[in-house]
């Protein structure tokens, strides 16, 4: 006889884990089925040379939502890490996001007034009704910032020329007239001192978990095991791609252990010229202020997504949005199956927003 549960959760990422925690708290029973060999989804880290290596891209927690911040702080404490990425273009280094430090390096401007005048003089030359991403970026920040810090990086990310990309991808490009290199504007920011894996383990306490199993291959069995199912995998795959496949951008990572203490002096350095094939290098130890003898770096390469590869970024164009709506309509009709998270909702979601959304679903499901 199969053991049965109140909820079978498909996937062990942040969305599932938060929902599971709330369900267990209400006395419900949960079973988690995960196709990967580990729990945690995108935020999973692996320890190499005593350094926590972010396996699916650098993850920095940031939020202005007090409820979410209080929620995560029940399980982990956060260090003082502030994301201050650098950009490297043809061997020269610039601070990000675009701020007074960046402008000083670019033009030697020392005051906000000087920097504003410089940007405005370049913006004046831009086309008034931008028709593509290139024109839009120049319209917003002028030629220099576009050429040095935006063009190559964006073209690598999307695998297309900025002239062929729609202008709506860049709606605004914040420029800061202060010497402030803090990338995020949120009230709270940091990396969990005990690591992201600890956060997931804490959230999933009390659940039965099975890894290395694809729910979709044993759907009937798992559906029998749960009164309800929470599905956090890809929505198009759930419906056997009946309307067609949603498109994603993927990434490939090249990780290397180096026999030195400090390779680049910063957690994140973006490479903004087209000729360098990767978009950034992550040096993981700097997320945790590590003092180990060795260091681990990861070069990040954008990749075309195809079935079987990790789907990272949804491609939010009209075609995909329409396709997603078709799937979402099917999902709404399901009585016993709940959908949530970045893959089931075909949405780029920061971690704090995923937590917020999982808590909202739990509230509706468990308390209303």
Rounded Cα distance between 167 and 126, Å, is: 14
Q: Which of 237, 188, 236, 181 is nearest to 214 (CA)?
A: 237
41 touching ligand FAD, by CB under 6 A: yes
Query: Phi and psi for 26 in degrees, rounded to 5?
Result: -90, 15
How far, in Å, are 232, 318, 327 from residue 322 at the CA level? Answer: 20, 6, 9
81 touching ligand FAD, by CB under 6 A: no
What is the nearest approach in angstroms of ligand FAD to the Cβ of residue 65? 11
What is the nearest approach in angstroms of ligand FAD to the Cβ of residue 216? 4
- Decide if 172 is catalytic: yes
- Decide if 123 is catalytic: no
Q: For ligand FAD, give the closer residue by CB, 149 or 354.
A: 354
DSSP code string of 254-319? EEEEESSS-SSSSSEEEE-STTSS-SEEEEGGGGTT---SSEEEEEEEEEE--TTS---EE--SHH
User: Which of 160, 219, 329, 348 does the annotation list as catalytic?
Assistant: 348
29 touching ligand FAD, by CB under 6 A: no
CB 313 within 8 A of CB 167: no
CB 84 within 8 A of CB 181: yes
215 touching ligand FAD, by CB under 6 A: yes
User: Which of 80, 129, 172, 275 does the annotation list as catalytic?
Assistant: 172
Beta carbons within 8 Å of 245's beta carbon, 6+ residues apart:
236, 307
Q: Copy the structure tokens of residue 217.
A: 């291959």
Candidate residues 9, 11, 288, 356; the one interacting with ligand FAD per rule CB under 6 A: 11
CB 284 within 8 A of CB 54: yes
Q: For ligand FAD, give the closer residue by CB, 138 or 297.
A: 297
User: Which of 135, 300, 345, 356 does the annotation list as catalytic?
Assistant: 300
- Decide if 176 is catalytic: yes
State the binding string over 294-323 for ligand FAD (x if CB under 6 A, else -). ------------------x-----------
What is the nearest approach in angstroms of ligand FAD to the Cβ of residue 165? 19
Beta carbons within 8 Å of 73's beta carbon, 6+ residues apart:
none
Candidate residues 7, 12, 126, 362; the one interacting with ligand FAD per rule CB under 6 A: 12
- Decide if 300 is catalytic: yes
Piece of the chain touching ligand FAD by CB under 6 A; list 105-113, 133-141, 319-327, 336-344: 336-344
Candidate residues 8, 23, 51, 60; the one interacting with ligand FAD per rule CB under 6 A: 60
196 touching ligand FAD, by CB under 6 A: no
Rounded Cα distance between 142 and 26, Å, is: 55
112 touching ligand FAD, by CB under 6 A: no
How far, in Å, are 153, 233, 237, 241 from residue 343 at the CA level? Answer: 25, 5, 10, 14
33 touching ligand FAD, by CB under 6 A: yes
Helical (H) or strand (E) element with 154: helix 152-158
14 touching ligand FAD, by CB under 6 A: yes
10 touching ligand FAD, by CB under 6 A: yes
Residues known to be catalytic: 172, 176, 249, 280, 300, 348, 350
Instruction: Give the footprint of ligand FAD on this chain (CB under 6 A).
Output: 10-16, 33-36, 41-43, 57-61, 214-216, 232-233, 251, 312, 341-343, 349-352, 354
């Amino acid at each position: 006889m199969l053991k049965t549960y109140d909820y079978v959760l498909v996937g062990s990422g942040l969305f599932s884990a938060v929902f599971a925690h709330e369900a267990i708290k209400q006395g419900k029973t949960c079973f988690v089925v995960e196709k990967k060999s580990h729990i945690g989804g995108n935020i999973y880290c692996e320890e190499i040379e005593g350094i926590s290596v972010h396996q699916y891209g650098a993850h920095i927690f940031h939020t202005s939502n007090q409820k979410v911040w209080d929620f995560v702080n029940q399980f982990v404490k956060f260090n003082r890490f502030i994301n201050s990425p650098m950009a490297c273009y043809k061997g020269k280094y610039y601070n990000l996001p675009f701020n007074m430090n960046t402008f000083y390096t670019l033009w030697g401007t020392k005051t906000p007034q000087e920097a504003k005048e410089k940007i405005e003089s370049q913006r004046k030359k831009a086309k008034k009704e931008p028709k593509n991403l290139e024109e839009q970026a120049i319209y917003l920040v002028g030629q220099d910032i576009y050429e040095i810090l935006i063009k190559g990086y964006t073209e690598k990310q999307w695998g297309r020329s900025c002239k062929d990309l729609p202008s709506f991808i860049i709606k605004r490009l914040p420029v800061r007239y202060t010497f402030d290199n803090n990338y995020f504007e949120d009230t709270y920011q940091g990396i969990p001192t005990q690591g992201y894996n600890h956060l997931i383990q804490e959230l999933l306490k009390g659940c039965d978990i099975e890894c290395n199993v694809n729910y979709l291959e044993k759907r009937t069995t798992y559906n029998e095991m749960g009164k309800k199912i929470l599905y956090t995998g890809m929505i198009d795959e759930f419906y056997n791609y009946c309307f067609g496949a949603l498109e994603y951008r993927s990434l490939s990572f090249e990780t290397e252990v180096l026999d030195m203490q400090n390779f680049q002096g910063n957690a994140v350095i973006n490479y903004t010229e087209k000729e360098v094939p990767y978009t950034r290098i992550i040096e993981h130890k700097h997320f945790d202020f590590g003092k180990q003898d060795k260091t681990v770096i990861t070069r990040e390469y954008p990749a075309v997504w195809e079935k079987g590869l990790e789907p990272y970024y949804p491609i939010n164009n009209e075609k995909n949005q329409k396709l997603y709506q078709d799937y979402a309509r099917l999902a709404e009709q399901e009585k016993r199956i709940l959908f949530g998270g970045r893959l089931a909702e075909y949405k780029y979601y920061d971690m704090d927003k995923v937590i917020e959304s999982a808590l909202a679903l739990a509230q509706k499901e468990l308390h209303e």
